[in-house]
Amino acid sequence: MRLPVPDVLLPADQLGRVHFIGIGGAGLSAIARIMAKRGVPVTGSDNADTPFLPSLRELGVTCHLGYAVEHLGDADTVVVTTAARADNPEVLEAQRRGLRVLPRSAGLAAVMAGQRVLAVAGTHGKTSASSLLAAALLHAGADPAYAIGGLLSSTGLNADAGSDELFVAEADESDGAFLVYSPHAAIVTNIEADHLDQWGTEAAYRAAFTEFVGRIDADGLLVTWADSEATRELAETGRAAGLRVLTYGRSADADLGPADLGVDLLVPGEHNIMNALGALALGTALGFDADALRAGLATYAGTARRMELKGTVGGVRVYDSYAHHQTEIAGDLQAARSVAGSGRVIAAFQPHLVSRTRALGALMGEALGAADEVVVLDVYLAREDADPDVTGRLVADAVPLPADRVHFEPDFDAVPAELVRRARPGDVILTLGAGSITQLAAPVLALLEARDA
């Protein structure tokens, strides 16, 4: 559901009682936690009991399961997830009452008000890069507020209120949210066409990042990847606007390269080396000790759903990842290959959104060819309706592997057994996707245990 951003954005302490519709999601739960920690009366509802809700309940936040009119209580303001349907009863009741109804972006802007915002944007890597930045700053003695898209390993939280002026924010471009913020500094990890249901064309998508850079403080800082044409152009845009610009990557003219990282990371993959360099560049530019930042990066053990090790049974390691775009798939499969050693990589992929699968499904299938065995699920619909012409088979048919090594499985409950049937000791099973596929790690591990009993 797309909601307009008000012309005047109020700080959180002026919103009265705030109710979150979709409080179980990564974005809204982060905002709700920060508001609650700062003394704002908060309630919420969701149709699922997600991993983000226990820490909210510990703060005394009432989190209803299911949507019903009575859940609004005496709320003054309602913050709504983009995944909400227009016929959601709580949305309809809030509109009927004439309550202040805000999209997620306005809710995040409310808790960032008055702080020095460090925004992390980009097509891929936002959650990992913002998590690395938060972990590095915390280790270097800062106490920033942060709102990120996953659970930070060092704290077990996806958000906290902090005690100093800094605010680390994952800035999402999928619905244009990042154009609501006015950061002091920003990291842009990369730019590659995505979310064309929102932007229409790749040119419009790239133009949005140019507009985002234009929202950085005049005396602020842009940190961006040096190794792509799109981000190099963005760096030039920042310099032309008078911003201080730092770049990182493997290009010879990058300000920071892998040798500057100086530590071994606990998280695998080239993409995490790049994300860590971006965090190091921004942290040092803010005046923090480089060695302290490096030490923080070295202790970072990952974020939930970003190449997260879920368990090992019988020599088979099971990882889960949020990757839902072909570049993310390729990066995570490269990381999986690095940890598999002589073992094989067995990938299960759930396409996310009909519109994305229609536009990019063939490219996703090509990327999955880097695995040894592939199981493709049907499309996770999220906020869209099904299209019988756009299914997971579109992805499976594009995987460049022999037919016996690729399987399209539309029955969600049958996937764990299919993965276990293909796995042998030494292999890595990697579940990929932004939807319900994250639920499969537990039954996969249980079946592995039963097989080895």
Contacts of 359 (CB under 8 A, 6+ apart): 196
Distance CA 114, CA 201 (A): 35
Give the pLDDT score at 155.
Answer: 83
Q: Are 161 and 200 in contact (CB under 8 A)?
A: no
What secondary structure, in 3-state letters, does 139-171 show? HCCCCCEEEEEEEECCCCEEEECCCCCEEEEEC
Listed range (167-176, 178-187, 413-422) with the worst mean pLDDT: 167-176
308-452 placed in CATH 1.10.10.410: no
Parse the chain into domains and list their residue ranges.
12-103, 114-299, 308-452
127 given a catalytic annotation: yes
Nearest-5° Cα angle at 445, 440 to 449: 150
pLDDT interval class at 304 (50, 70, 90)? low
State the architecture of 12-103 in CATH terms. 3-Layer(aba) Sandwich (3.40)
In the structure encoding, which two tokens stand for residue 318, read together?
């099971």
Question: Minimal CA–CA distance to 53: which of 30, 81, 76, 75?
Answer: 30
Q: How far apart are CA 157 and CA 33, in angstroms?
A: 9
Q: Is the pLDDT of residue 217 over 70?
A: yes
Look over the chain and give the mean of its residue pLDDT values, rounded to a whole number. Answer: 94
111 vs 325: which has the higher pLDDT: 111
Q: Are 101 and 20 in contact (CB under 8 A)?
A: no
Active site residue 310: no
d(CA 440, CA 431): 8
Q: At what angle do helices 270-285 and 326-340 cross, to 10 degrees?
A: 110
3 state SS of 406 = strand
Q: Is the pLDDT of residue 152 over 90?
A: no
Catalytic site residue from 90, 93, 170, 418: 170
Name the phi and psi angles at 29, rounded to 5. Answer: -65, -35
Range with the poorest average pLDDT among 183-187, 268-272, 347-351, 396-400: 268-272
pLDDT tens digit sequence for 321-350? 988 889 889 988 998 998 899 999 999 999
* 37 counts as catalytic: no
Fold type of domain 114-299: UDP-N-acetylmuramoyl-L-alanine:D-glutamate ligase (3.40.1190)
The answer to whether 164 touches 142, Cβ cutoff 8 Å, is yes
From the candidates 43, 123, 127, 357, give the one annotated as an active-site residue. Answer: 127
Average the pLDDT over each of 23-32, 96-105, 138-147, 264-273 and give the range with the smallest value: 264-273
Q: Kindly name the residue from 81, 82, 93, 126 that is annotated as catalytic.
A: 126
pLDDT tens per residue across span 342-400: 999 999 999 999 998 999 999 999 999 999 999 999 999 877 889 999 999 999 999 99
